Amino acid sequence: DAGVIQSPRHEVTEMGQEVTLRCKPISGHNSLFWYRQTMMRGLELLIYFNNNVPIDDSGMPEDRFSAKMPNASFSTLKIQPSEPRDSAVYFCASSLLGGGGDTQYFGPGTRLTVL
């Protein structure tokens, strides 16, 4: 079975540009998570969806970040405008139930570099 799919794997852009990261969760999973990983701050939860509805977006750093889940098989994380401090690896993860410490399956990540 395919795991969580993320695209692109690498993105290099210039400051001020819009960046869109994409995620396809594992089929049948009803929860989706977006994380950001940096050396300084480690792994941070940005937003969590359950049944396509955003449940907790308290980790979204600021209004430049937005996430959508239009259906059960697709989600996007958008940064507009991007800034150099947004450079990080962004992970998408999905889980079957979304509660009780349910196992999260991570995608391979998108390495974003903002120049």
Partner 1 sequence: GQQLNQSPQSMFIQEGEDVSMNCTSSSIFNTWLWYKQDPGEGPVLLIALYKAGELTSNGRLTAQFGITRKDSFLNISASIPSDVGIYFCAGHRNTGGFKTIFGAGTRLFVKA
Q: Which of 11, 60, 88, 109 binds partner 1 (CB under 8 A)?
A: 109
- How many residues in the shown chain lie near partner 1 by CB under 8 A? 23
- Altogether, the residues listed in the chain come to a count of 115
> Residue written as tokens 């993320």?
6
25 binds partner 1 (CB under 8 A): no
Closest CA to 59 of 41, 81, 39, 40: 41
CB of 36 to partner 1, least distance (A): 11
CB of 30 to partner 1, least distance (A): 12
Q: Which of 42, 62, 63, 70 binds partner 1 (CB under 8 A)?
A: 42
77 binds partner 1 (CB under 8 A): no
Any residues with CB less than 8 A from the CB of 109 and at least 6 apart, and which? 6, 9, 37, 89, 90, 91
Residue 101 to residue 71: CA distance in whole angstroms? 23
Interface ranges with partner 1 (CB under 8 A):
4, 42-45, 48, 50, 55-56, 58, 91, 93, 98-101, 103-109
